[in-house]
Structure 1
Amino acid sequence: MSNAKALPLLDPGVEPCCPPLTERPLTAEEAVRTAAMFKALGDPVRLRLFSLVASHEGGEACVCDISDVGVSQPTVSHHLKKLKDAGLLTSERRGTWVYYRVEPSMLAAMGQMLGRATT
């Protein structure tokens, strides 16, 4: 992937998608991957759903607990699928409900990419 330096706060096993933006310019491939991630988060409903899952107790949320975001259930499902397709969420079906988790490696990679500031 990339030869970006790992920040000490990250798990050693996390492979960042891209280097910190202040380290070097992104390659074309890195820019495509990063843009897809930000595009998925660029919709207010998707960003809210992502936040609801990320902040839910235990780091996991049943779709039944997060679907009150002002849009219909089919629209919630559509937005959750977009977040999954971008690699930001994982899901697991348990009986009739689907439970979502934030993909920890993606969250760590986003933090690394955006977190390093120049002084």
Structure 2
Amino acid sequence: MLPILDTGVAPCCPPLTERPLTPAEAERTAAMFKALGDPVRLRIFSMIASSAGSEACVCDISDVGVSQPTVSHHLKKLREAGLLTSERRGTWVYYRVAPSVLATLGQTFAAA
């Protein structure tokens, strides 16, 4: 079983048109986009983001064309990139879009 990680990451970068990213900002932002660059991960992320309260139980994440162990692997990658947080409730794990992630990703490409 995978450990439950709550990265507590609040990604934060200025719009690309405001100033060049620092090396740390570029690393963090690239990790998020790399994680979302996989079609299965993007589908999983969108399922969670579009769920009520931007939260979904792992038991509700299905029909993405891969096995449950592979779904768990993709969820781990999304957590490691700071895109999701997770919380164990009884036997189930619930995933949430990390605070400010959607706004941050959108802001990255916003015109200043």
What's the TM-score bracket when you normalise by the shorter of the two chains?
Answer: 0.7 to 0.9
Look up the equivalent residue of 1:23 and give its one-letter code: E
Aligned equivalent of 1:38: 33
Structure with the greater alpha carbon radius of gyration: 1
2-side partners of 1:97 and 1:16: how far apart? Answer: 27
Aligned 8 A contact 1:88 1:106 in 2: yes
Aligned mate of 1:57, from 52, 58, 67: 52
SS at match of 1:61: strand
Aligned equivalent of 1:107: 102
Aligned equivalent of 1:66: 61
2-side partners of 1:23 and 1:58: how far apart? Answer: 32
2-side partners of 1:69 and 1:16: how far apart? Answer: 27
Aligned 8 A contact 2:11 2:28 in 1: no
Instruction: Tell me by how many angstroms 1:104 deviates.
Output: 2.0
Structure with the bigger RCO (C-alpha within 8 Å, sep 6+) is 2
Q: Give the aligned CA root-mean-square deviation in angstroms.
A: 1.4
Identify unmatched segments of 5+ residues in structure 1.
1-14
Identify unmatched segments of 5+ residues in structure 2.
1-9
What is the TM-score of this pair, normalised by structure 2? 0.84
Distance 1:64 1:16, change over 3 A: closer
Look up the equivalent residue of 1:19 and give its one-letter code: P
Distance 1:16 1:69, change over 3 A: closer
1:52-108 CA-to-partner distances (Å, cap 9, x unmatched) read: 000012221011111221100000000000000111001111111111110122222
Q: Which runs of 4+ in 1 moved over 6 A?
A: none
What is the TM-score of this pair, normalised by structure 1? 0.80
Instruction: Tell me by how many angstroms 1:26 deviates.
Output: 1.3
Look up the equivalent residue of 1:49 and give its one-letter code: I
2-side partners of 1:94 and 1:59: how far apart? Answer: 16
Look up the equivalent residue of 1:101 and give its one-letter code: R
1-side partners of 2:52 and 2:101: how far apart? Answer: 19
